[in-house]
Structure 1
Amino acid sequence: MGSMDTSELIRSVPTDLFLGGEWVPSGNRATFPVHDPATGDVLAEVADAAPEDAMRALDAAVAAGRDWAATPPRERAELLRTVWSKISERADDFALLMTLEMGKALPESRSEVAYGTEFLRWFSEEAVRIAGRYTPAPAGNGRILVTKQPVGPCLAITPWNFPLAMGTRKIAPALAAGCTMLVKPASETPLTLLLLAQIFAEAGLPAGVLSVLPTSRAGDVTGPLLEDPRLRKLTFTGSTAVGRALAEKAGRSLLRTSLELGGNAPFVVFDDADLDAAVEGAVAAKLRNGGEACTAANRFHVANSVREEFVTKLTERMASYRLGPGTDPDTTLGPLINENQKKTVIELVEDAVAGGARVRLGGETPEGPGWFYPATVLDDVPRSARILREEVFGPVAAVTGFDTEDEAIAAANDTEYGLAAYIFTRDLDRALRVSDALESGIVGVNRGVVSDVAAPFGGIKSSGVGREGGTEGIEEYLETKYIALR
């Protein structure tokens, strides 16, 4: 199916709340603007959910919960498969919509559509494989029956950087498990999930199973939900600071909680690495999504014996990226999400340079509208620089050197975060040894892209709890029940 033009697409996307199977305005009729990061212009005005809307959505989720949980797994699976098919048919529309509201270059958006839809297909297959076990009790006095049941109504809070994939990664396993779900999309990028809700409605999803509640007042909307005993799970992707605050609130109700939080991924290049492969991996790990990814390589630890060659090649490769509006077919690096993010990147680069870092590429903000920042390479970054401790969420590669393996491991682990890490080496023993030593939930060995729907995604330390994707992903939405049989 061909893609619509920009204005036609924007007009076709619902801008009301998707609540209890219907499209409705917010209770107080309030709206908020969604901006194009390439220009700062307003794309659309979207319904601004109020606390009473959230409670109506929870009422609907509770009312639909029993029937949805009792729906045969095959039927739940077929519905997810239908949604996968429908989105695939409209892949160009979803890609353009994401580029318009988030800014990423169209090739990046197309990749996200392919990735995000796979969660629907994967969990449609997992829905029919939910299993328990039946065994004799060791004492011989009965039988042990273990079953799995849906957790119940869930609240998902999704980020702006992957508007489709972060939604499907949560919605698909929840619905596959038999849970109902409320989704609060990021206020910067609500349109993609509203279009996704429209596709679910077209596919025949029963009313109340899924509600989408865009809002500019996140705390006002999610706060009452987290205090309501009928809500049984929270899943959140976003910053560590917000994750901690949500976990504290969720803890009062003892909610099941999955948190995918910030990252500060080290990218370690050893002296025996294939440098050309390492550079390609570095570009993928750094510039995917314009650097606005929790798995993005943040700190480049490179063996001093090969550092100059690596930095020279990395600079040449990153210099080939063309900065511009994501809708321009020649663009390979789009704008940042908003003015605040642009200011953060500028501050981190200025702090590093003030401490002695050398700018090998970029580092200067272009003039004109939009929230643009160029691909940037910093070498000789001092250990005191904020950019080595804080998540930059932008197209900046900060390089520092090391001499020994132990030094590299210590530097890589010198962070409160532990989501993703990358290592490049030709030595298999070293690859396994260092992978074991890295304090990270995900390790990429000689590859710069690690996300895979069939693999468990999540971190340790301040990068969160729980896993998404893989066979582990659906377990986050299931309770284990033990039945003792005589």
Structure 2
Amino acid sequence: MALQLAHGTDWSTTLARAVAATPEAFDSAAGSATLRNLIQGDWRPIGRPSPLTTGVDGSTLANLSRLDAETALTAVRHAAAAHRDWAATPLPERKARVVAALDALTEHRDLLAMLLVWEIGKPWRLARADVDRALDGVRWYVDQIERQTAGREPLPGPVSNIASWNYPMSVLVHAELVQLLAGNAVIAKTPSQGGAVCLTVAHALMHRAGLPVALLSGGGEELSEVLVRASEIGAVAFVGGRSNGGKVAAALLDTDKRHMIEQEGLNAWGVWEFSQWDSLAGHLRKGFEYGKQRCTAYPRFVVQRDLVDDFLDVYLPVVKSIRFGHPLAVDSPGDALPELDFGPLISAAKAEELHRKVDEAIRAGAVPLHRGKLSRGRFLDGQTVGSKALSAYVAPTALLAPPGRSRLMHAEPFGPVDTIVVVDTEEELLAAMNASNGALVASLACDDEELAGKLASDLQAFKVGINKPRSRGDREEPFGGRGASWKGAFVGGDLLVQAVTTGGADERLYGNFPQWSALPPNV
């Protein structure tokens, strides 16, 4: 029996709900829409139309309106004026407006989540978790902000946010709302690959609550100079790859702007003198959530040679049982949405790039331990291998011993592809886990926690888990990176507020800066 779309989840219905909720943010026609830009305090129908497609089935969802640099600069200057007024707004009023925005976002929680399903391919459970994490996280800051801002002032200019597509709510909107609580106006650039409709609805609700927010669309080459270097900008928050992150960092070298630049790193899980295999299996499965398209995924396993057989006995059944496919495909229209580990990658181009990297590694000598088949996924009738509707999907893949010249040996795949490296000594373990010159997280599976702690001290990762994974973390727990995975101030909890406020001329932020590097207490 062919799978069908769950009732009421088709894109036309979802888009109509978005337009009905926030009509001011759309130029809409029958079955389609063009997103407006939120600049100069209003939603404006200007910019060059550019289609937004989805990896879910290859269809076009809507059109972005891409701005040029001159228009973006005008928007930045208006945001700077709004920032001055907002910085002078008493904290109780700022809190009240942020809470009003949170209440509106909560009311539309399921719409925001369904937009994420269509735009970036997140399964329903994970899409709702992305929205909930943003809302719950900011409510914690609302309760803490008086303590966090005591003796501190907002930045001299608005915060510019340039974020990737994979966590529009729990990373981008979450950060913006905290920046607003701290007294800063905010500017956000919509990701070009996905999440723009969700962000448009979210920012419309934030704007209605009286928050000084701007949302701009445009290419990085067109807008980065303005959104990074404009003198009016008080801080830059960037989430993305090392290539673009490096360009942002280079553009800031001759400035004193606050910055938080999160870049990719090859997060590794080392297995050394270990026997607790049952506990590892659950971690392995959870690691495939969202196809490993997240900054804290673990795509590299470094395994002691004597333990390879035991590791594979646990690992291979897990990877072969991963559930993937169209995130809205059900047996009957009235059925509940499927419980999948992941859907498509963000685009057909990303899927093709990942296929090339896998083929390259195998030709160079990597051993294909497992190459999943798309035929095992859950897809709608018409989504067949070779069709445009299936072009963004990649089945789980595991490679043993990627060669040193392979791109998969040193770089994060950002997809459901694992590499396994076999080592004989502790020194080899550390070298293989540090292959990408810095990472955000790492973990060690080791029965001797004292030994694991000693090994962890030599890992170039910001957070290291002992017999457990590490994640981004919010609230009390800081977040950052080591080496090339991060540049600038660390964030999370009190450090996020400190990064977007000032505490005096002699203040030293915790972070990974060119001139010095420091870790916050208890990290």
- Give matches, 1:397-476, under 5 Å: 397-454=418-475, 455-465=477-487, 466-476=489-499
- Give matches, 1:246-257, under 5 Å: 246-257=248-259
Name the SS of the counterpart of 2:112 in structure 1. Answer: helix
Q: Which amino acid aligns with 1:153?
A: P
User: What is the Cα deviation at residue 165 of structure 1?
Assistant: 1.8
1:211 to 2:214 alignment = yes
User: What is the Cα deviation at residue 132 of structure 1?
Assistant: 5.4
Q: Which moved more, 1:346-355 or 1:391-400?
A: 346-355
1:276-312 Cα shifts (integer Å, max 9, x gaps): 2223223323x12211112211211012222222223
Where does residue 265 of structure 2 map in the other structure?
Answer: 263
Q: Which moved more, 1:155-164 or 1:73-82?
A: 73-82
Contact 2:345 2:393 in 1 (8 A): yes
1:46 to 49, 64, 69: 64
Q: Which moved more, 1:183-192 or 1:13-22?
A: 13-22
Where does residue 187 of structure 1 map in the other structure?
Answer: 192
Distance 2:168 2:435 in 1: 31
1:37-80 Cα shifts (integer Å, max 9, x gaps): 02111001122222233123212212212221122223222332
Structure 1 residues 349, 182: CA separation in 2 closer, same or farther (over 3 Å shift)?
same
Distance 1:223 1:212 in 2: 16
Tell me how many residue pairs correspond in the alignment.
462
2:40 to 20, 29, 32: 20
Where does residue 274 of structure 2 map in the other structure?
Answer: 272
Contact 1:302 1:401 in 2 (8 A): yes
Where does residue 155 of structure 2 map in the other structure?
Answer: 150
Pairwise CA RMSD: 2.3
Contact 1:284 1:449 in 2 (8 A): no
Contact 1:421 1:444 in 2 (8 A): yes
User: What is the Cα deviation at residue 447 of structure 1?
Assistant: 2.2
Contact 1:3 1:92 in 2 (8 A): no
Structure 1 residues 114, 64: CA separation in 2 closer, same or farther (over 3 Å shift)?
same
Contact 2:421 2:432 in 1 (8 A): no
Distance 2:254 2:294 in 1: 30
1:10-63 Cα shifts (integer Å, max 9, x gaps): 13243211123311112xx42111111021110011222222331232122122
User: What is the Cα deviation at residue 258 of structure 1?
Assistant: 1.1
Name the SS of the counterpart of 1:481 in structure 2. Answer: coil
Contact 1:77 1:125 in 2 (8 A): no
Structure 1 residues 80, 110: CA separation in 2 closer, same or farther (over 3 Å shift)?
same
Query: Segments of 4+ in structure 1 off by > 4 A?
Result: 2-5, 363-366
Distance 1:225 1:420 in 2: 29
List gaps (5 residues or longer) in structure 2: 1-6, 20-24, 26-34, 330-336, 375-384, 507-523
Name the SS of the counterpart of 1:39 in structure 2. Answer: coil
Name the SS of the counterpart of 2:415 in structure 1. Answer: coil
- Give matches, 1:13-412, under 5 Å: 13=19, 14=25, 15-26=35-46, 29-131=47-149, 147-189=152-194, 190-205=196-211, 209-215=212-218, 217-285=219-287, 287-328=288-329, 329-330=337-338, 331-362=340-371, 366-368=385-387, 369-370=389-390, 371-412=392-433
Distance 2:275 2:426 in 1: 13
Contact 2:154 2:184 in 1 (8 A): no
Distance 1:426 1:121 in 2: 38
**Identity rate, percent:** 25
Contact 1:124 1:172 in 2 (8 A): no
Structure 1 residues 151, 281: CA separation in 2 closer, same or farther (over 3 Å shift)?
farther
Structure 1 residues 149, 38: CA separation in 2 closer, same or farther (over 3 Å shift)?
closer
User: What is the Cα deviation at residue 346 of structure 1?
Assistant: 0.9
Where does residue 382 of structure 2 map in the other structure?
Answer: none
User: What is the Cα deviation at residue 212 of structure 1?
Assistant: 0.5
Name the SS of the counterpart of 1:441 in structure 2. Answer: strand
TM-score normalised to structure 2 length: 0.83
1:423-474 Cα shifts (integer Å, max 9, x gaps): 2223221232222221111222222352221221211211112222221111
Contact 2:65 2:217 in 1 (8 A): yes
Distance 1:61 1:363 in 2: 49
TM-score normalised to structure 1 length: 0.89
Contact 2:490 2:496 in 1 (8 A): yes
Contact 2:266 2:435 in 1 (8 A): no
Name the SS of the counterpart of 2:504 in structure 1. Answer: strand
Contact 1:115 1:453 in 2 (8 A): no
Distance 2:233 2:51 in 1: 29
Name the SS of the counterpart of 1:392 in structure 2. Answer: coil
Distance 1:30 1:380 in 2: 46
Structure 1 residues 226, 274: CA separation in 2 closer, same or farther (over 3 Å shift)?
same
Structure 1 residues 171, 304: CA separation in 2 closer, same or farther (over 3 Å shift)?
same
